[in-house]
Amino acid sequence: MSTTPLALAMQYLDIFYSGENLHHLRNILDGRCRFTGPFIDCHSADEYVQALLSDPPASLNYTVLQTYEQLDSACVIYQFEKDDVSTPMAQLFETNGSKIKRILLIFDSAAFAAQAITT
């Protein structure tokens, strides 16, 4: 079954930001999905989902600012919100037609360092 890269990206964000049923990510991630971000680098869907389950996202919000889509990829730019942290983020999703095979998360990690200093 084929779906658009942007639809997969938005489904991923909905699951992640809900903080619930994180195991459902396995339904949209290729088994060899690579996730790369400032604080984590995972080489499989299982490794990534296990990392999320051990430290689940909580009390997060996001507002989509812009989306882009190409043949086998999508980019979602959004405003991330958690407690006193508010920062723009971009995620690039590469797909194989039916699942996400790579996620690249980009943001300025200094926003989190500043929040850690004040708490």
Could you give the CA distance from residue 87 to residue 8 in angstroms, rounded to a whole number?
23
Instruction: Report the alpha-carbon distance of residue 68 to residue 7 in Å, rounded.
Output: 11
Q: How many residues does the chain have?
A: 119
| Residue 113: predicted pLDDT | 77
Domains in the chain, number:
1
What is the reported pTM?
0.91
Beta-strand relationship, 100-107 and 29-36: parallel
Q: Which residues pair with 61 in a beta bridge?
A: 81
CA-to-CA separations, 59 to 1, 52, 67, 83, in angstroms, rounded: 33, 14, 23, 8
Domain that holds residue 85: 5-118
Amino acid at site 7: A
pLDDT confidence tier of residue 111, bands split at 50, 70 and 90: confident
Q: 40-91, pLDDT tens digit by residue? A: 999 999 999 999 999 999 999 999 999 999 999 999 999 999 988 999 999 9
- Which stretches of the chain are DSSP H helices? 5-18, 45-54, 110-118
Q: Which of 58, 57, 69, 53 is nearest to 10 (CA)?
A: 69
Spatial separation of the C-alpha atoms in residues 78 and 75, rounded to whole Å: 10
Residue 51: which CATH number?
A: 3.10.450.50
